[in-house]
Amino acid sequence: MTNNKISSLQVGVILSFIILSTTSWIGLTDIIEIAGRDAYISVIVAFILGIISLIMILLINDKDNKFNIKKLILKIFGKYIGTFINMVIDIIMIIIGIVTLYGLSNFIISQFLSDTNIIYIYISISILVIYCVSKGIDVIARSSVILLFFSIILFLIGNISLIEEINLDYLKPVLEYGIKYPVLGGIILFLTNIVPIYIILIIPRNMISDKESYSKYIIFFYIFSMVSIFITTFITISSMGINLARMYEYPEYIILKRISLFGFLDRIENIICIQWIFRGFIMLCMIIYYVSNNVKKNSSMIFRIIVMGIIIFINLIYFKNNTMYGEFILNIYPFINLSLFMIFIIIGIRKRIVYNE
Amino acid sequence: MKKILLVIIILFITGCNYRELNDIAVVTAISVDRDKDGYKTIVQVINPTKEQDSTSSGEPDFITYTSTGKTLQESFRKVMLESPRKIYGSQMQLLIIGEELARDGIGDILDFFFRDPEIRFNFNVVVEKKNSDNKAIKTLTVLDNLSSSNIMDSIKNASNYIGNSIDVTFEDLMNMYLYDNLEIVLPSIYATGNDNYNNDSNLSSTSNYSKVIVSNLSIFKDDKLQGYLTFNESIGYNFITDNIKDTLVSFECDNGRYLVSEIINNNSDIETDVIGRKIIVTIHGNASINENNCDYNLKESSEIETINKMVNNKIEELVSNSANSIRNKYNSDIFGFRDLFYKKDYKEYNNIKSVWYEDVFNDIEVEVKSDIKLVEKGNIVGGIHDQ
Amino acid sequence: MDVNKIVGRIKKDTNNVSDITYRIKYVNKKKLYIIYNEALTSSDKISDFIMRSLDYIDNKYDSNIDLINVILNEISNFKIKTINTYQDICYYLNYGFTIILIDGYSKYLVLETKRNLARGISTPTTENSVRGALDSFVEDYQTNIGLIRRRIKSNDLWFNNIEVGRYTKTIVSVIYINGICNNNLVKRVNNLINRIDIDGIIDSGTIKNLIQKENKSVFPTILSTERPDKVCQYLLEGKVIIMVDTCPFCLILPADFNDFFVNSEDNFGNSINISLTRIVRYVAFFISMITPSIYIAVTTFNYEMLPTDLLVNIAAQRDNVPFSAFFEALIMMASFEILRESDLRKPSFASSALSIVGALILGEAAVNAGLVSPIMIIVIAITSISALVFSELEMINGLRWYRLLFMIGAAFLGIFGVVLVFIYFIIKFSSLLSFGIPYSSPFSPTDIAGIKNSFIKFPTKMLDKRRKYLTNNRVKLRDSE
């Protein structure tokens, strides 16, 4: 009955939001471009590869773990190398934050508000994110459960209404160009969507109130989010065909424009895509929480504002238009995540070998 | 304290895209045609009036603006020279393409509609025949207060109950355009009647008014209009591509006397044989007898069998004739046989892809099997001419 | 101290006020002072019990006795105490007791003779009870405790009384059931009340604001009620009750979000019917917050969300209105709030004028004057009626603030602004703590026992556990089969 304990259900929900957050503006676009009609096979490949990340997380955050990932790195690698590795991971997390913020804001600008300057969207989202993080991890956890509840309702309404649009002919011929492209798409989906779940390690095991069901909930929510991505991909390609899906910038939003619910309620795509805004928001909150975790309490607010300011600034000067963004996330971003994955494998292996407490 | 300050600051900024409803003109239909080297566009805009308001009772429910320009975007912007409000396109319901523009190729106008984030993709697309001279969008009608909904409903009725037209949305058009294996097919309309199509006198007479009539399908090849199908060819095309929901088949038993039967609940399956270059179309369904002026005795099951066979023969004849005549006259694969070959066996298809129209298309053997069952006869058991 | 001196001091301190009566009586040749406050005591009790007993003692015993012990033994008042300080004399005098000062003794006797200054037990005034007990609390502390004890007849119903207020010395009692309720919570509440140092407590609202200081939110975190059956149900759930003397409304804490949607009479109904009713209440909550802002967002930013016919209709209606949608909504909301506020405070002679004016503002006259559009009136009517679903006034007032924020968000950024304010609302809602219990408690630290009684209600046989965050003693209904 104390109020800074998080339940493992909440950790699972945060995990699922992290995996789902980059689907809408990075993941789907990548795999549709690479794998084409067989993008759903990429999802299955990514699911299989992601089990490695899950095992890593369960190894690093095992039953007796009392430290969050930053302190753990300092303990394993010593002070100087540990601080260096922490800084590298922080920079990678900031890059993930930059990509997420640009994706979310660009989606809002291009679909909802056509003439607005993007800086207003950046500032509004940033104020909310900083406010949420300043309340602590338990508030982030609680809000994410409530937001998941609303997201599930919208997800079900959207996808059940689209079942009648599925036309399996659009998926034929299967594997026309061989298995190479879906597997490549699967690897990229794994790198862009699943590798950031290492943010979960910022929550040490002893902060969780029911420790025994931690692994159960993590596995359950991992499966849940991968099934969601699979359903979205499958419905998008089988309702629209691959040519149209390649042309659009946000195919999963366009497919929602076809919903006609009960015959009269037929312009609800703006409401159903609110769930993507929730996902991006929780992801940004977790990133800022991760980066500002070991800063002392008095200066932590200023630190968060500075980090958010850095993210906005780099967004403004680097990503001038959507084409540069598309090139970045296809060519450079997966390698950044690959290095993150490598770092965490090294941490996991070293923890097993060196640090057995 | 800080929160209140923030709220007060925000109160003074009311958004960056803030438009009142009085500043926009809601567009419901657009008609595009060729005009010398550029485009001539006619835009139909709703005039929002309250019904009980006495000061605006004489105004029409919509008005049209005409403008020309070298590109589509230019001519739409020129509308603002006339109109006090900005064009807002997201409620658009209908796009009418003039025949002259269609013969030149419709690929150039598609990018504008595709790229605009406001426009939704579920509006209908039709082709307007040359002799109706862009009048269809301006015609006032009694039963529907917008000409666009009038046209759309007529097309829906024709495709549902007669079977000589199909309901094509812009997304379907894009799919047909982007996909190399499909050719474009669009419904067509034309307007006839007197010259009072765009004013009140069209609404005040019961029979002598201008109207918009749905015609048969128009056939394209490589995004250029080739011509219009005949009535039977349209129905045959719809049978092959499984678009028929309800249609009438009539055959003559004596001179001038016919038996009419209505096909309901039907669907067509297509089997492809790539190596043997063969397409087998199987039509299943139910039929009912709607009008019987022949001497068949409908109480005997052998007569019913005979009628059933004759209906099936008639359908098979209609469909295979239309398949052959479309191929001979236009040589355009609107049926989607190319796509079927590709999906069935893509390796074999890749060999013949480059010579499709020259060698393969006309040599495909199209076999039609019709498996319609007569199930209903209406109210009367026999016929009134029996006795 | 000499009794004469004490009497002189009392007279000086109270400025010889006329309702304190002093009577001298000689019993067994000793001088007794009988002091009582006529406004607070009932004279029957004094004459029937005290005077008669003193006469009896006078007759029975002779003069060489230890008078104070004899009186303690023989007097037929049921409540009698001995005190020995001057402050206690003043306290009990103001409380309605009768003081007996015996010459020569340094201990004094106080006897209970309180007059019943409260009204009788009647029906509740602010909460309608369709099918439940119809008695309500009164202003007398003992009667209220009696109404609770009638329903919970157990030795585990404990309470401790604290006196709060320098001038009013009001008794505030913290009631809980030992064994169900959490001890930390009780200790915390006791500490909070003990720390209050204020001139006076007149009603329980002051206590509520003083112990609730840590939550800076517009939503209420303490329930208040005047019905004893509701109080007993909450006691059995493991909550703590604060009862303040002279106020019929007692406080129930901790309260979370779900408690404002749950009615104690829901136990009567069929679970399917009650589930639909609960869903209606939750939907009404959101409708009341979001509807004006969705109207503003849809008619100024995102027109594509309306079907064409509705858009043309709204455009025709808004042609004549000179204001923008945001100001129109603001004006209508303000006039409705003014109407509602004057409705609460109106004297009875102005009621018919009020209904006429209300119909003018919110009706055809305003439309024909060209100030508002008809659809705005419908939006405001739906909003306001949905807000009145709740019985707790604080909740309706809390909705007002968020409604305003949503309207500002919609005017700023359209539907995206509404989404941003919605996320802000969820963050604020999740960060509230009500005495250590998270406010979003049945949903967010997910508790199956709580969800079974929230927006869907399971049959009563399945509601067999208490809430995890309130108590450790979780089983309340054992299956008898």
pLDDT digit string, tens, across residues C114-165 = 877 778 888 888 777 778 788 888 888 888 888 899 898 988 888 889 888 8
Q: Is A108 on the interface with C (CB under 8 A)?
A: yes
Asked if the ipTM is above 0.95, the reply is: no
Domain ranges across chain B: 21-228, 242-387
Measured CA angle at C159 (ends C158, C164), to 5 deg: 175
Q: Do A243 and B343 touch (CB under 8 A)?
A: no
- C-alpha span between C47 and C34 (Å, rounded): 11
Lowest-confidence region among A269-283, B39-53, C137-151, C387-401: B39-53
Q: Say how many Å lie between the first and final Cα of chain A, rounded.
A: 29
pLDDT in tens, B129-182: 888 878 888 888 777 778 888 888 889 888 888 888 888 988 888 888 888 888
Which residue, of C255, C285, C308, is where some domain finishes?
A: C255
Query: Domains (ranges, CATH) in chain A?
Result: 8-337 (1.20.1740.10)
pLDDT in tens, C346-370: 777 777 777 787 777 777 778 888 8
- And the tokens for A163? 């079942």
Instruction: Flag whether pLDDT at A273 surpasses 50.
Output: yes
Give chain B's radius of gyration (CA, Å). Answer: 26
Question: Structure pTM?
Answer: 0.88
Specify whether C363 is located in the same domain as C410. Answer: yes
Instruction: Note the pLDDT of residue A3.
Output: 52
- And the tokens for C291? 């509807």
Lowest-confidence region among A193-197, A295-299, B227-231: A295-299
* Of residues A292, A103, B3, the one with CA closest to residue C421: B3
Specify whether C48 is located in the same domain as C189. Answer: no
Mean per-residue pLDDT, A231-240: 90
- C-alpha span between A284 and A297 (Å, rounded): 20
Identify the band that residue C436 occupies on the pLDDT scale cut at 50, 70 and 90.
confident
From its phi and psi, is residue C29 left (phi > 0), alpha (psi between -120 and 50) or beta? left
- C-alpha span between C277 and A59 (Å, rounded): 47
Domain containing residue C215? 141-255
Instruction: Note the pLDDT of residue B18.
Output: 66
- And the tokens for B363? 């040599």
* Of residues C36, C39, C64, the one with CA closest to residue C50: C36
- C-alpha span between B209 and B140 (Å, rounded): 9
Specify whether C146 is located in the same domain as C281. Answer: no
Instruction: Note the pLDDT of residue A306.
Output: 87
Identify the band that residue A223 occupies on the pLDDT scale cut at 50, 70 and 90.
very high
Give C126's DSSP letter: S
Q: Is B121 on the interface with A (CB under 8 A)?
A: yes
Specify whether C292 is located in the same domain as C424. Answer: yes
- And the tokens for A203? 């929550």
Substitution target in B90, B119, B120 with the highest count of A β-carbons within 10 Å is: B120
Residue type, B30: I
Chains sharing 3 or more CB pairs under 8 A with chain C: A, B
Specify whether C166 is located in the same domain as C233. Answer: yes
b (16+ CB within 10 A) / e for C378-392: ebbebbbebbebbeb
Measured CA angle at C234 (ends C232, C237), to 5 deg: 115
C306-325 residues touching B, CB cutoff 8 A: 308, 311-319, 324-325
Of A124, A270, A277, nearest to C305 by CB-CB distance is A270
Q: Do C414 and B46 touch (CB under 8 A)?
A: no
Q: How many CB atoms lie within 10 A of CB B65?
A: 19
**How many structural domains compose chain C?**
3
Three-state SS annotation for A144-177: HHHHHHHHHHHHHHHHHHHHHHCCHHHHCCCCCC
Instruction: Note the pLDDT of residue C213.
Output: 62
Specify whether C308 is located in the same domain as C407. Answer: yes
Give C268's DSSP letter: G
Q: Average per-residue pLDDT in chain A?
A: 86
Instruction: Note the pLDDT of residue A72.
Output: 84
Give C120's DSSP letter: P
Specify whether C70 is located in the same domain as C210. Answer: no
User: Is C474 contained in some domain?
Assistant: no
Do residues C428 and C437 touch, judged by C-beta distance below 8 A?
no
Instruction: Flag whether pLDDT at B53 surpasses 60.
Output: no
pLDDT in tens, A136-190: 888 999 999 999 999 999 999 888 888 888 888 888 778 878 889 999 999 999 9
Specify whether C235 is located in the same domain as C296. Answer: no
Phi, psi of A89 (to 5 degrees): -65, -35
Do residues C296 and C411 touch, judged by C-beta distance below 8 A?
yes
Identify the band that residue C425 occupies on the pLDDT scale cut at 50, 70 and 90.
very high
Count A/B contacts: CB-CB distance under 8 Å. 40
Instruction: Note the pLDDT of residue B63.
Output: 85
Of C304, C312, C411, nearest to B46 by CB-CB distance is C312
**How large is the angle between the packed helices A333-354 and A39-60, nearest 10 degrees?**
30
> Which residues, 6 or more positions from A234, have their beta carbon under 8 angstroms from its beta carbon?
A40
Q: How many CB atoms lie within 10 A of CB B141?
A: 20
| Of C215 and B31, more confident | B31
- C-alpha span between A203 and A191 (Å, rounded): 22
Specify whether C42 is located in the same domain as C172. Answer: no
Mean per-residue pLDDT, C315-342: 84
- C-alpha span between C249 and B357 (Å, rounded): 89
> Which residues, 6 or more positions from B354, have their beta carbon under 8 angstroms from its beta carbon?
none
User: Is C460 contained in some domain?
Assistant: no
Do residues B141 and B213 touch, judged by C-beta distance below 8 A?
no
- And the tokens for A313? 């600034």
Residue type, B223: D
- C-alpha span between B43 and B26 (Å, rounded): 10
Domain B242-387 CATH class label: alpha beta
User: Is C59 contained in some domain?
Assistant: yes
pLDDT in tens, A22-52: 888 888 888 888 888 888 899 999 999 999 8
pLDDT in tens, C226-239: 888 888 888 888 88
- C-alpha span between C143 and C313 (Å, rounded): 61
Q: How many CB atoms lie within 10 A of CB C65?
A: 14
- β B365-376/C437-438 pair status: unpaired
Mean per-residue pLDDT, C84-113: 83
Instruction: Note the pLDDT of residue B335.
Output: 86
* Of residues B192, B98, B201, the one with CA closest to residue B140: B201
Instruction: Note the pLDDT of residue B16.
Output: 55
